[in-house]
Structure 1
Amino acid sequence: MNKRVVVGISGGIDSFYTAFLLKERGFDVMCLYINLFDNHEVFLRAKMLSDLLGAKFEFYDAIKEFKKEVIDRSINMTLSGYTPNPCAFCNMKIKFRILEKIRSDSNYDYISTGHYVKIFHNSTTKIFRGFDEKKDQSYFLALVPSIYLKNAIFPLGNFTKKYVKRVMEEKYLFWKDISSSQDLCFVKKGYKKLIQDKCGVKFGKFLYKNRVVANHWGSYLYTLGESRGLGHKEPVKLYVESLNHEKNEVYLNTREFCYKSLIVVADLNFFNKLPNRCLVQIRYQAKPVICDIHFRESKLYANFHEKVFAPTPGQIASFYSLDNRELLGGGIIIGTD
């Protein structure tokens, strides 16, 4: 009997190629479309792609769960002064939990998605960066509990995005006319516009060296390290150094003042025991840096060996082995120094 796998199919090229590969390798494939928000066009494409493979297609409505665990949580964090990572929350609370649930309920063997990562299962689950350094998505899995990944396989971990795109466009010409999915799937006009529509305009001030240098429409619309669209006319390039949401003020400074030596991390999740020294990555595609780790009152303190530009509360800190290959775990940044 063929091994059976539940593939999370989004209607995009990566999840389709995952299902395609597994089908070619002899797996009995179920394509599961997890409905996060109303998008009939994407749903129909996912159904068409499943039919094209001759795979079983199932639908799971997660709109209410997604709104609570991802959209509302992200908005609430933003209004509390954090810069959230909705994609990581979705992987942690929605996608992999549902895939594992459907696998278990349907008595299938594995789950799979189109993530560019590698995973190995022995006595424990170990996750490694994907072969494609530019596309590696291990950072976004740092918060996912290992119980949801214990039956996961990731075929794309050994490929580059460029290769996947070329192979699929050669075999199925229609992929040339389908654009890549956006980072925030539930936002059409931009995350700032979503927050502004939710909370309205709150006029405030940009300050640099205790001087008002421009006005803004709400401190919650900005994040640490941001430099574009600040509206000032200073002769130097300025960045958001800090925020005061109570006063609705955004403090600007030159780049060198935005570097930090330490982060405080909570909501911890580990795949392997964290050594006293490892690498930490504080945003997607950022350069990992060496840090020393210590714990205090269920929080993790990571002291950088070299200062890091604008680590941002609310973002994910992903920890890696010193050779920068194995993902050891992660958490949410709640403070800096």
Structure 2
Amino acid sequence: MSGGVDSAVAAARAVEAGHEVVGVHLALSRMPGTLRTGSRGCCTVEDSMDAQRAANIIGIPYYVWDFSERFKLDVVDDFIAEYAAGRTPNPCMRCNEKIKFAALLEKAIDLGFDAVCTGHYASIVLDADGNKELHRAAAWAKDQSYVLGVLTADQVQHSMFPLGATPSKAEVRAEAAERGFSVANKPDSYDICFIPDGDTRGWLAERVAPATGDILDREGKKLGEHEGAVAFTVGQRKGLSIGTPAADGKPRFVLEVRPITNTVVVGPKEALAVKEIAGDSYTWAGLAPLNPEVPFECHVQIRAHADPVAAVAQVVRDGERVEFMIRPHEPLTGVAPGQTAVVYMGTRVLGQCTIDRTVSAVPVSAVTDA
């Protein structure tokens, strides 16, 4: 129970469905006195109190479990390391993967519980043979299946999402008000919970020592200098401070961040188009395809609120290297290593991979950078 309206209503619905429910709030902050600022951040003292009030109304036991050390190691430190490596991580994916459906579920199973129930907008569906599958929520506008794409088949077996069939968030808020929950109109959390002021660049600058490096075009020509590659991500336009305009007068965008050489590569917008993505860290959220090494049609989504794109995917073996490769039918734009590609079959979440490499749809010779 995060202290928000969704998890409060999910807990109440689980009780009414006949389950024995215990409310758990995860203390993830290393600073237990942290206060909430509007809709920024989560897991604060106020959130814990909101969760307890909802649990009291529902009439269920309520506990606070301290996972702050695990959260720091698996989410915060990972976030810093990924940016230092020139990648663009998604901490919400890591939190679901390492904390809510790993550390929390492991402890719950050890204590004799059968499942973790959350307020995510997603659905569990049984196939013809009774196997559990993870699917999109009924309301696509609120669908959160993307951030659950990191769940493994075993974790899906022990997950419950009571809000999956709910048509809208407005209906959940109305239900919360009817139940007397004080969080009925509480704003949704957004941004990165451990960077509540939203200044990711400034936060990283305090933790990753900046080092001046070169800004290059795609052919290796120096266009300027930067004060720290960690401040840049693929697709970024602002903050380049190159000065000299491109020959065609069009703006330039970050195409690559190369931490080994401490360089940032920029180019025209069309060079952001990607025709292939792949990663060797992948999982299946349920039964895998019968033969994943045979190309299969699917849809791929690379951001939580991005539109799914038709694609062909397959597992590729090259010697000892095994990776999940995805080729969209139409080029993707602004894809960065470190992002998560979630693959769907219709509404079903089939699996995911962390993107390690991309292949540009536009060769260097086909565009003009300067």
> Which amino acid is 1:185 matched to?
C
Cα deviation code 1:165-205 (max 9, x no counterpart): 34334654743663321232111233222211101333445
The residue that corresponds to 2:86 in the other structure is 81
Deviation, structure 1 residue 243: 1.9
In the alignment, does 2:188 pair up with 1:202?
Answer: no
Q: Is the 8 A contact 2:88 2:338 kept in 1?
A: yes
Q: Which residue of 1 aligns with 2:52?
A: 47
Which residue of 241, 246, 250 corresponds with 2:260? 246
**Cα distance between partner residues in 2 of 1:301 and 1:283:** 17
| CA distance in 2 between partners of 1:120 and 1:18 (Å) | 17
Partner of residue 155 from structure 1, selected from 139, 158, 162: 162
Aligned to 1:188: 196
- 1:220 is matched with 230
Aligned length: 326
Deviates more, 1:239-248 or 1:146-155: 239-248
Asked if residue 312 in structure 1 is aligned to residue 336 in structure 2, the reply is yes
Quote the residue 1:262 is aligned against: 276
Q: Which amino acid aligns with 2:332?
A: V
Change (3 A) 1:331 1:15: same
Say if 2:60 is the partner of 1:61. no
**Taking structure 1 as reference, are residues 51 and 231 closer, same or farther at Cα in structure 2, changes over 3 Å only?**
farther
CA contact (8 A) 1:207 1:252 kept: yes
More strand by share: 1
Deviations 1:198-229 (A, max 9, x none): 0133344544573526x543111211112244
Q: List per-residue Cα deviations over 1:95-132 (Å, max 9, x = no partner).
A: 11234234323333432101100012454320111112
Partner residue in 1 for 2:302: 282
Would you say the 8 A contact 1:264–1:300 is kept in 2? Answer: yes
Contact 1:119–1:154 (8 Å) recurs in 2: yes
Cα distance in 1, alignment partners of residues 22 and 343 from structure 2: 33
**Distance (Å, rounded) in 2 between the aligned partners of 1:29 and 1:204:** 54
RMSD (Å) for aligned C-alpha atoms: 2.3
Q: Which of 8, 18, 25 pairs up with 1:16?
A: 8
d(CA) in 2 for partners of 1:259, 1:83:
17
**Range with bigger deviation, 142-151 or 72-81:** 142-151
Answer yes or no: is the 8 Å Cα contact 2:214–2:222 preserved in 1: no
Aligned to 1:142: 149
Name the TM-score, length of structure 1 as normaliser.
0.88
CA contact (8 A) 1:103 1:109 kept: yes
Change (3 A) 1:12 1:207: same
2:40 equivalent in structure 1: none
**Could you say if the C-alpha distance between residues 223 and 124 of structure 1 is closer, same or farther in structure 2, counting changes exceeding 3 Å?**
same
Contact residue 119 and residue 163 of structure 2 kept, 8 A: yes
- 1:35 aligned partner: 27
TM-score, length-scaled by structure 2: 0.81
Query: Would the aligned equivalents of 1:272 and 1:329 in 2 still touch at CA under 8 Å?
Result: no
- Contact kept, 8 Å, 2:173 with 2:185, in 1: the verdict is no
Q: 1:262 to 1:211 in 2, by over 3 A?
A: same
For 1:87-106, list aligned pairs within 5 A: 87-106=92-111
CA change 1:162–1:238 in 2 (3 A) is farther
d(CA) in 2 for partners of 1:219, 1:314: 15
More helix by share: 1
Q: Please tell me whether residue 336 in structure 1 is matched to residue 358 in structure 2.
A: yes
Query: Separation in 2 of the partners of 1:260 and 1:63?
Result: 37
2:139 maps to 1:132: yes
* Aligned ranges 1:319-330 → 2 under 5 Å: 319-321=343-345, 323=346, 325-330=347-352
Change in 2 beyond 3 A, CA 1:263/1:161: same
Measured in 1, the distance between the counterparts of 2:22 and 2:181 equals: 24
Q: Tell me how far apart the structure 2 counterparts of residues 231 and 166 of structure 1 sit (CA, whole Å).
A: 48
Greater shift, 288-297 or 225-234, is seen at: 225-234
Kept after mapping to 2: 8 A contact 1:219/1:248: yes
Deviation (angstroms), 1:138: 1.0
- 135-144 vs 270-279, which moves further: 270-279
1:92 offset after TM fit, Å? 1.0
Give structure 2 stretches of 5+ with no counterpart: 33-43, 360-370
DSSP-derived class of the 1:298 partner: strand
